[in-house]
Chains A and B, each alone.
Chain A
């Protein structure tokens, strides 16, 4: 029924290092539908981020191919947005400067891009902080800037690489809740990487469980719970339990 947005076809990735080749991604075939929120869930260090980087074009695949919207991905590009674990905000730019960066380098006029950036700054709840520098903001607020910056380029797909991994538990819950609100308002295809099962079940339309390195897709779960989800709903807890028992133990 819905369109296939991202297609990973037999993707593998091997890094050449001084100690020989390291095979990080085994053989992954995966599709992500338009406006779907897919969570890549797996143990720590299993290659989730590498798989995400292959999908976004930051890394090149060794074999196989990634296509987004019918186009083969082999380099970074503004049709894809990335939210990073370590935020990767430009520290010398203000919140406004960071959010409008994408449209600016792509040549959008100042008034147009300011208006657009303001819309996304408001969307993530940072109205009034436009002129603050990243180091003046809390971790949660910095990640909101990261989300607004990725959204502001109006990409087809958004890749989120453990964006809440560095936040404290309380902020993390709040950010998960707000991310769903933002996403429901501005639907995009999202691939979200996490090693936190609670986060995975809370956010996902579908969870792809990954194995240890070299990673492959072990199994997939459709999560059909209504939103907003309740962390202590019996069905939520059952899914959490079931998926936890399937995933490999981190080394």
Chain B
């Protein structure tokens, strides 16, 4: 307060009294100044006739006694002044108070939110290894041979990356390079051959360099590309062998590749399963090419049929999303705080660490804003389990059933998820339903290969093509007539004079009479739709294109 001259002229006890009231009022400065001025004027008027210091002091004391308790007076004045406040000022003050209260609560919430830490209770990695490890002797494990093969593997030199096409169509110079590369890899390939003689392949899943942050998503799958490269050695070797007129050796090489593919389809992770599918398909396609290029006699074909029956005896390797589900659950336990009252939310700090593992660093503010809007732990897990179950159930339906009956439950469940509230789940799930189609394609390709061998054997033995695929079953060449996953019937078969055609309807579900569309093996570019607009076509297994 800036005392005015009247105030300075007042007795000290009065000044003290006024200052005390003003101090205790604790209201806006302009209002306090006004009250100060008014009280000063009051006491100045009350004391103006008292010139004698003693009398003035006595009068002042009397006035103060009349005014009563300064604290009570300050309260009453403050209350009166607050009531005098215009409505708009009251509205502004109330709004500011509301905003401040919200902000304070929000800050408390943020502090509580950011202090929460996930608690890892389940060792999903151990669970995975326990599930994946077969109950058989270690001596039957192919992994040690694969490890040796990987160590011995010689990579292609850079100038070889441009060499594309089948071996017999390459220039002499390129053929020479390929021969040298395959020869250099012969020791590695010998190990692959030894590995495929074993009954199973198992290796412990480890975190490798991600061990400091044990999260299943960080499980290393080292050498997965080398395993695929080893199959490419086999592919080139088979092409060289058939070019050199050694079709029996080429067939043996193809069978090794098919065995290798099956072994890797037996692994726990979806990635390894898909690599197994790719390797097996490579072997089967190569085998049908060898058979097309170098016709075999009935005895040789019977042997191949027996080998294939042996490789694919029992149930076709099971396809499952269990690894993906466990990976998702492990991510949840590493990123969310525990459930219970006020808990079970996404932890911003854990999200940033998760981003580091995914090689997608996430700044804290982004992680925090994501965490604030993300669904809680229980809801996320419930939706996740719901989607993984729908995916698992979808495996039972062929692409034809899914498309004609519009069975899109997993996709529909994912589409329903808010991209903000379920960002984590959406980042895990989307591509998985495509894997189901890969599974069916692999399965029918395997069936088609067995059928081709059976048809060729039938012709070699009986001197004519079978009229129907059913004849192959009756003659004991096939145990079942192969079904087309893209129709509700068997694979399409037709005699074509000196040859035959075996095909699946492909993604568009239409029977185009065994039409091949270059660069669109399964008719995918037709968008899986019926009709004349798409580049229609079928998946033709024979004749070999």
Is B one of A's binding partners?
Answer: no
